[in-house]
Amino acid sequence: MADGESSREATARTLRNAFGNVFSFFILLLIGILAFSIRLFSVIKYESVIHEFDPYFNYRVTQFLTKNGIYDFWNWFDDRTWYPLGRVIGGTVYPGLTLTAGTLWWLLNSLNIPLSVETVCVFTAPIFSAFASWATYLLTKEVKGTGAGLTAAVLLAMVPSYISRSVAGSYDNEAVAIFALIFTFYLYIKTLNTGSLFYATLNALAYFYMVCSWGGYTFIINLIPMHVLLCIVTGRYSSRLYIAYAPLVVLGTLLAALVPVVGFNAVMTSEHFASFLVFIIIHVVALVYHVKGNLSPRMFKVAVTLVVSVGLVVCCAMIAVLIALVASSPTKGWSGRSLSLLDPTYASKYIPIIASVSEHQPPTWPSYFMDINVLAFLVPAGIIACFLPLSDASSFVVLYIVTAVYFSGVMVRLMLVFAPAACIMSGIALSEAFNVLTRSIKFQLPGSSGISQSGDTSMNTEGEQNDIAKTEKMDETAKERPSKKNKRKEKEPVVKASIRSRIERRLLVLPLEASVIAIILLVLLGAFYVKVACKVDAALNVHASTLEKSSRVGRWKLVHCVWAAAEAYSAPSIVLTTYSREGGLHVFDDFREAYAWLSHNTEVDDKVASWWDYGYQTTAMANRTVIVDNNTWNNTHIATVGTAMSSPEKAAWEIFNSLDVKYVLVVFGGLVGYPSDDINKFLWMVRIGGGVFPHIKEPDYLRDGQYRIDSQATPTMLNCLMYKLSYYRFVETDGKAFDRVRQTEIGKKYFKLTHFEEVFTTHHWMVRIYKLKPPKNRIRGKTKKSKSKASSTSSPKRSGTGKRNPWH
Amino acid sequence: MARSTAMKAAGLILALLIFTFFSLAASSSNNQIQILNAERRIDLSSHIVKVFLTLKVENVGTSPASEIFLAFPPSQADQLALVKAQAAIGKKKKKSYVHLDVNPTQLPDAPNGTKYFSISLLNPLSSGETATLEVLYILTHSLEPFPAEISQLESQLVYFRDSALMLSPYHIKQQTTFIKTPSTKVESFTRVEPTKFAGRELKYGPYEDRPPYSFSPVIVHLENNSPFAVVEELLREVEISHWGNLQITEHYKLVHAGARHKGVFSRVDYQSRASVKGASSFKHLLASLPPRVHSVYYRDEIGNISSSHLRTDYRKSELEIEPRYPLFGGWKATFVIGYGLPLEDFLFESPDGKRYLNFSFGCPLAQTVVNKLTIKVVLPEGSKDPSAAVPYPVEQRLETKYSYLDVVGRTVLVLEKKNVVPEHITPFQVYYTFKPIFMLAEPLMLASVYFLFFMACVAYLQIDISIRK
């Protein structure tokens, strides 16, 4: 009889397990769909187009890859950028993203699904954010069970910080790298929990994928050693830790060295140093444990004193040599970007190029709140929850969030690394809170068999309708699942921890009313999460009308809030829109207008000079050779362009002519009020130019330390090329030359260009393209005079301009 | 430069004239027809030159004549896009026109490479009878910009070259030529008395009794600021889906074929008075699409172009598009227009069980010349025996295209034609056979793949592959 009963119980449990699995599978599927579709607003609202700057380069590389194949890709020397230096693309690019999208495209095309490369590139980021939320589920599940996993996955699918980098069209390394990062962490934890070499190998492969994808892989290769060290120091060393770490270092380093852009850096730069040090330490510790196991305690003590005294001397010598080696290199073996991470003031002191990028600035408090909002309050609760039973896995997550907080505080871009950690922590916190509260309700509900039952209380409760309790149930079932499937016993500490937690749970019974209210509050908090995202984002959004729209629709507020949250980040930045008073949409498509003009109406081999921000877009959209681009690898070259832009016309002409430049492109927002134009970036050009060519001095461009372009501006400022190219004939638009970005009338309104001629200006004047006049035009000629009447710009009369232009 | 070529041409034509007098006797076969009255109206108001020719022919010979020949100098023959002829039947009140066949032919005694077109008459013209023929022919690329390069502020001047006397293998008793100019501004024109210029019309003639192959070259130098929109290459892809949609994708390579733009383009000038400062440029194009058009898009290789407007009514749809930037002389732009159409408006079943697509040939953009038009009709997968019925001589070939989940590929019928003008927009038909069962191939394929996937999942979950129990 007992046999039959137990079998019936077993079948019931299997059914419940199956139901729980299917249920969580569908929840995960929905989370994936949510993560994918929340990122499609950019396509719906704008169009399926690549965004911003770097994605255009990645898109161009992907095009090359799909057209010419992988071998040409590795050998690709790009002569259309950094003229006349060129750039070895195959060896200087993280190929993960490109290869991923290329493979995806190839797969689809071999199935005769003729999607364009562009479409594949646009949708890569949303697809991988769905993967990332699944990876978050797996990681959190390993740390704190299924319930926490699902909550964390939902949070990650919607966290604004991550949305901002992975909307459709944002085809950047981070799109796949965040997935790779979380997945690598998951496999590390999985190996740590199971001690399986299989997962250790997978972990090395995932790490390899991460190395392929993003320079942020150094975060992994420093965080994992830190965790290993932490485990060793806190006496948590085990063979599982060894299996999780040693293969990763060996295999991972070998694989990382295969990526051309990393190469020997994988063993030579200081970023990887920590991993090798910990590798040595873990072996020493392993040896100690081994020896300790084999020797009697007394013998062991003797051995320890012997080894320590000898080993200390050797170690000191080794470390001294190492430090000397590292210290001998000027940057101490660290790359500039890593150094600016360790020393936040480093970049602004030494490398203006890194400092000039807005995403390398430290974030402000509002940006924290905007990017992760309520998660910021849940994180501490999550950390506490991790400590309640501290396991290897939860200590890793705690370490992860602590380091990520630091890095995100240094560079706003690394908020992206912080976001998954915050999601995991908040997921844990929320799920723990729900656990406690529902348990309190359950224990106090009349007629419930909860108290009388031991162990599996939550599994056997009848008449449970609360779906939160269901998640909890799955939490329990999922804990059982690996032990069943792998036919292996759960690890001792985990089981112990769970028993301990159960006891604790029973102690943590709250009054019924309090817990019901708390659950409602938590649900409200979830709504608030979405809603706050809406408010903050809408406030940042230029179009206030979105807020009105969302507030008008009362019932579907949440849905609309998500919509607005996505909207703030979905502008592709090459197309700008405003709403006119009648509600119509006005589109500013000037960038593409200019690029299309360049690509169709100039010679294929013409060189276009612009500030480096527009380099990637020019090569990708206009297919013209540029002097500098967003891969700021050569400071001198950028400084040359910066110098030319800040020099007077003639000197600038000479610089550009020496670089074979035929067209100069400037971005000008003064007519329509587009704030991120070249005049606003101009001080960086001066700074970077002056850093290499000392005759450009920043104070020359500032009046009493103030940057201005009105009548108070310095003569150097009013005569530099950037000023002239931006404001050439600007006064004729409104008669006053009122600059709508700087909110002032410009200083010098009427002037002529001697060495440049305007060849194209876009509809809203946002991009202006000038052509260098050929040298022969500069010679004074009689025939030219008649022409200068017809077209007022081509005036070669130097004497004439000389009079009006005393600084020339 | 252009003047000297004009001189050269004049000299050549003089030689031709002399030659024609000698060859008069040789062309005895043509002697039996004479033209009583020829009236030519040349319309130069756009860059597509339309010539309306009204001929009153008489058979003065003995035997009935079934063909009338039109002669074109070789330079014009290359620019000739279309020749159409019709005959007027009946008297003034009940006049109706009958379309006549026109075919290029060769005559054995053609002087100096003259090209001929023969008009086949409905009823042979018997001796002494007269007939009135109306001919329309269209010339493209026949306006030569001079000066060849202009700045933004100048307006565009072009040369038009023709003969004051009509080139014809027949004796012409009386002829007049009217040239309609787009504006009153005409720089110069050759005088061949009597010549009169009034308003927007230049009149040559009437000239009496000119022998066959008379030629008198004239050059008109006039202002023409109409958009010289030339599509260098147009690829129209028509994809038939028997699920009810006809998808059309049109790839344009547009160029402004007028006088080349030189030097500065100033937006300030262009925006202040575009009609004066930038007169020769154009920024709007009008595409007339079939009614009931849906999902229209207008984009280029770097994304959507937002400046377009679609107006639809029950008879036709009009799509007004603006390229990304105004086009000045020599500037190019490429773009793609795509749209869907309901299939039942275009696909029919012929009595013999074949299906046929009835679609319009030519370029939907108004007032444009297409240098090379390629129409690809993508038939559904599994269709057989494609054949096309096109009213003009076109090059045809077959291709295979693989689209969504195709296995054997779709048959593509490719039609190619050079020098296409809006007058070429007439329906053409593509016949093919298709079994409806092929429509289910792809859904079935997908269904079976899903089925196999789930089977694999089930199998994976059921099979225990561990060695140790």
- Indicate the length of chain B as a whole number: 469
Q: Is B335 in contact with B323 (CB distance < 8 Å)?
A: yes
Strands (E), A452-526: none
Q: Tell me if A757 and B266 make a contact (CB, 8 A cut-off).
A: no
Tokens 């937690």 found at: A501
Q: Is A580 in contact with A586 (CB distance < 8 Å)?
A: yes
Q: Is A470 in contact with A23 (CB distance < 8 Å)?
A: yes
Confidence grade of residue A330 (pLDDT, cut at 50, 70, 90)? low
Instruction: Tell which wins on pLDDT, B236 or A464.
Output: B236
A-B C-beta contacts closer than 8 Å: 89
Q: How far is A26 from chain B (nearest CA, A)?
A: 15
Q: Which of A95-104, A399-408, B7-16 has the lowest mean pLDDT?
A: B7-16
Of A114, A761, A791, the CB nearest to B151: A791
Q: Tell me if B263 and A791 make a contact (CB, 8 A cut-off).
A: yes
Instruction: For helices A557-570 and A545-552, give the axis angle rounded to 10 degrees.
Output: 160
How far apart are the C-alpha atoms of A465 and A448, rounded to whole Å? 13
Percent of chain B with pLDDT over 70: 92
Its pTM stands at: 0.83
Distances (CA, A) of A705 to A679, A683, A702, A711, A717: 16, 12, 5, 15, 13
Which pLDDT belongs to residue A63?
Answer: 92
Distance linking the first and last C-alpha atoms of chain B: 97
Tell me whether B152 touches chain A (CB under 8 Å).
yes
Instruction: Give the pLDDT confidence of A572-612 residue by residue, as tens digits.
Output: 777 877 776 666 778 888 899 999 999 999 999 999 999 98
Which pLDDT belongs to residue A797?
Answer: 38
Which pLDDT belongs to residue A412?
Answer: 80
How far apart are the C-alpha atoms of A526 and A159, rounded to whole Å? 12
Return the H-helix or E-strand segment holding B452. helix B441-462
Which pLDDT belongs to residue A484?
Answer: 39
Which pLDDT belongs to residue B2?
Answer: 45
Which pLDDT belongs to residue A11?
Answer: 80
**Shortest CA distance to B303 belongs to which of A649, A574, A304?**
A574
How far apart are the C-alpha atoms of A201 and B125, rounded to whole Å? 94
Tokens 């008069």 found at: B24
Residue A357 confidence (pLDDT) above 80:
no
Using a CB-CB cut-off of 8 Å, the residues of chain A touching B331 are 597, 600-601
Instruction: Give the pLDDT confidence of A71-95 residue by residue, as tens digits.
Output: 999 999 988 888 888 888 888 899 9
Q: Which of A106-110, A143-147, A372-376, A390-394 has the lowest mean pLDDT?
A: A372-376
Distances (CA, A) of A134 to A26, A120, A426, B381: 12, 21, 16, 39
Q: How far is B436 from chain A (nearest CA, A)?
A: 21
Mutation target vs B (from A43, A624, A791; most B CBs, 10 A cutoff): A791
**Shortest CA distance to B424 belongs to which of B388, B467, B375, B391?**
B391
B:243-282 residues touching chain A, CB 8 A cutoff: 263-268, 271-272
Which pLDDT belongs to residue A530?
Answer: 59
Beta pairing, strands A607-609 & A576-579? unpaired
Of B152, B153, B267, the CB nearest to A765: B267
Which pLDDT belongs to residue A587?
Answer: 82
Largest CA distance in chain A: 118
Query: Which amino acid, one-letter code, is at A465?
Result: Q
Tell me whether B151 touches chain A (CB under 8 Å).
yes
The b/e string for B432-441 (b: 16+ C-beta within 10 A; e otherwise) is: bebeeeebeb
Using a CB-CB cut-off of 8 Å, the residues of chain B touching A761 are 265-268
Residue A770 confidence (pLDDT) above 60:
yes
Q: Tell me if B265 and A596 make a contact (CB, 8 A cut-off).
A: no
Confidence grade of residue A569 (pLDDT, cut at 50, 70, 90)? low
- Which of A10-19, A314-323, B355-364 is most confident? B355-364
Q: Tell me if B264 and A732 make a contact (CB, 8 A cut-off).
A: no
Q: Tell me if A621 and B302 make a contact (CB, 8 A cut-off).
A: yes
Q: Tell me if A114 and B264 make a contact (CB, 8 A cut-off).
A: no
How far apart are the C-alpha atoms of A349 and A691, rounded to whole Å? 11
Which pLDDT belongs to residue B269?
Answer: 84
- Lookup: tokens for A550: 């969302």
**Shortest CA distance to B170 belongs to which of B10, B315, B33?**
B33
Concatenated DSSP letters for A685-733?
HHHHHHHH-TTS-GGGGEETTEE--STTS-HHHHHBHHHHHHHTTTHHH
Q: Tell me if A758 and B272 make a contact (CB, 8 A cut-off).
A: no
Q: Is B285 in contact with B366 (CB distance < 8 Å)?
A: yes
Three-state secondary-structure class, residue B330? coil
Residue A509: phi, psi to the nearest 5? -90, 125
Long-range contacts of A707-710 (CB under 8 A, 24+ apart): A707/A682, A707/A683, A708/A742, A708/A744, A708/A747, A709/A679, A709/A739, A709/A742, A709/A744, A709/A746, A709/A747, A710/A742, A710/A744, A710/A745, A710/A746, A710/A747
Tell me whether A528 touches chain B (CB under 8 Å).
no
Q: Give mean pLDDT, residues A625-647.
A: 88
In this prediction, does ipTM exceed 0.90?
Answer: no
Mutation target vs A (from B249, B264, B322; most A CBs, 10 A cutoff): B264
**Shortest CA distance to A21 belongs to which of A108, A114, A146?**
A146
Query: Which amino acid, one-letter code, is at A410?
Result: V
A:476-495 residues touching chain B, CB 8 A cutoff: 487
Q: Tell me if B268 and A733 make a contact (CB, 8 A cut-off).
A: yes
Q: Is A675 in contact with A643 (CB distance < 8 Å)?
A: no
Of B266, B302, B404, the CB nearest to A758: B266
How far apart are the C-alpha atoms of A40 and A26, rounded to whole Å? 21
Of A112, A597, A621, the CB nearest to B403: A112
Residue A792 confidence (pLDDT) above 60:
no
Residue B95 confidence (pLDDT) above 80:
no
Instruction: Give the pLDDT confidence of A503-512 residue by residue, as tens digits.
Output: 555 555 677 7
Tokens 């994988």 found at: A266
Which pLDDT belongs to residue B13?
Answer: 53
Close Cβ partners of B144 (under 8 Å, ≥ 6 residues apart): B2, B158, B159, B160, B161
A:106-125 residues touching chain B, CB 8 A cutoff: 111-114
Tell me whether B233 touches chain A (CB under 8 Å).
no
Which pLDDT belongs to residue A58?
Answer: 92
Q: How far is B265 from chain A (nearest CA, A)?
A: 5
Closest residue in chain A to residue B298, using alpha carbons only: A47
Confidence grade of residue A546 (pLDDT, cut at 50, 70, 90)? very low
Q: Which of A295-299, A444-448, B51-55 has the lowest mean pLDDT?
A: A444-448
Tokens 């079948």 found at: A11
Instruction: Tell which wins on pLDDT, A156 or A412.
Output: A156
Q: Tell me if B267 and A762 make a contact (CB, 8 A cut-off).
A: yes
Which pLDDT belongs to residue A793?
Answer: 40
Q: Tell me if A592 and B324 make a contact (CB, 8 A cut-off).
A: yes
Confidence grade of residue A230 (pLDDT, cut at 50, 70, 90)? very high
Query: If you average pLDDT over every residue of chain B, what do you get?
Result: 85
Which pLDDT belongs to residue A505?
Answer: 52
How far apart are the C-alpha atoms of A355 and A360, rounded to whole Å? 6
Mutation target vs B (from A597, A619, A731, A757; most B CBs, 10 A cutoff): A597
CB atoms within 10 A of CB A374: 18
Residue A616 confidence (pLDDT) above 80:
yes
Concatenated DSSP letters for A91-152?
HHS--HHHHHHHHHHHHHHHTT----HHHHHHHHHHHHHHHHHHHHHHHHHHHH-HHHHHHH
Close Cβ partners of A214 (under 8 Å, ≥ 6 residues apart): A94, A96, A173, A174, A176, A177, A180, A181
Residue A341: phi, psi to the nearest 5? -75, -40
Q: Which of A24-28, A472-476, B312-316, B449-453 has the lowest mean pLDDT?
A: A472-476
Residue A533 confidence (pLDDT) above 70:
no
Closest residue in chain A to residue B403, using alpha carbons only: A112
Confidence grade of residue A785 (pLDDT, cut at 50, 70, 90)? very low
Tell me whether A496 touches chain B (CB under 8 Å).
no
Instruction: Give the pLDDT confidence of A117-141 residue by residue, as tens digits.
Output: 999 999 999 999 999 999 999 999 9
Q: Give mean pLDDT, residues A735-744.
A: 86
How far apart are the C-alpha atoms of A729 and A722, rounded to whole Å? 14
Q: How far is A94 from chain B (nearest CA, A)?
A: 24
Residue A658 confidence (pLDDT) above 80:
yes
Which pLDDT belongs to residue A497?
Answer: 52
Which pLDDT belongs to residue A462?
Answer: 36
Of A574, A601, A793, the CB nearest to B264: A793
Residue B88: phi, psi to the nearest 5? -85, 130
Distances (CA, A) of B465 to A274, A481, B188: 41, 18, 95
Which pLDDT belongs to residue B11?
Answer: 52
Which pLDDT belongs to residue A545?
Answer: 32
Q: Give mean pLDDT, residues A310-332.
A: 78
Which pLDDT belongs to residue A349?
Answer: 67
- Which of A433-437, A496-500, A652-656 is most confident? A652-656
Query: If you average pLDDT over every residue of chain A, what do you get?
Result: 79
Close Cβ partners of B348 (under 8 Å, ≥ 6 residues apart): B355, B356, B358
Instruction: Tell which wins on pLDDT, B52 or A468.
Output: B52
CB atoms within 10 A of CB A461: 17
Three-state secondary-structure class, residue A744? strand
Of B304, B324, B407, the CB nearest to A47: B304
Which pLDDT belongs to residue B230?
Answer: 92
Q: Which of A153-167, A775-789, B372-386 has the lowest mean pLDDT?
A: A775-789
Q: How far is B219 from chain A (nearest CA, A)?
A: 27
Residue B375 confidence (pLDDT) above 50:
yes
Sheet holding B317-321, edge to edge: B285-289, B317-321, B308-312
Of A113, A601, A762, the CB nearest to B331: A601
Mutation target vs B (from A763, A772, A795; most B CBs, 10 A cutoff): A763
Which pLDDT belongs to residue A798?
Answer: 39
Query: Which amino acid, one-letter code, is at A77?
Result: F
Tell me whether B36 touches chain A (CB under 8 Å).
no
Q: How far is A138 from chain B (nearest CA, A)?
A: 20
Which pLDDT belongs to residue A795?
Answer: 38
Closest residue in chain A to residue B331, using alpha carbons only: A601
How far apart are the C-alpha atoms of A460 and A447, rounded to whole Å? 13
Confidence grade of residue A805 (pLDDT, cut at 50, 70, 90)? very low
Q: Is A640 exposed, middle or buried (0-12, 13-18, 19+ CB in 10 A)?
A: buried
Confidence grade of residue A542 (pLDDT, cut at 50, 70, 90)? very low
Confidence grade of residue A536 (pLDDT, cut at 50, 70, 90)? very low
Instruction: Give the pLDDT confidence of B133-171 residue by residue, as tens digits.
Output: 899 999 998 889 988 888 888 888 999 998 888 888 888
Confidence grade of residue A528 (pLDDT, cut at 50, 70, 90)? low
Q: Tell me if A575 and B303 make a contact (CB, 8 A cut-off).
A: yes
* A260: preceding bond cis by omega (within 30 degrees): no
Residue B36 confidence (pLDDT) above 80:
yes
Tell me whether B400 touches chain A (CB under 8 Å).
no
- Lookup: tokens for A324: 């000397």
Query: Which amino acid, one-letter code, is at A706?
Result: Q
Residue A478 confidence (pLDDT) above 60:
no
Mutation target vs B (from A45, A109, A112, A486; most B CBs, 10 A cutoff): A112
Tell me whether A59 touches chain B (CB under 8 Å).
no
- Indicate the length of chain A as a whole number: 808
Beta pairing, strands A607-609 & A585-588? unpaired
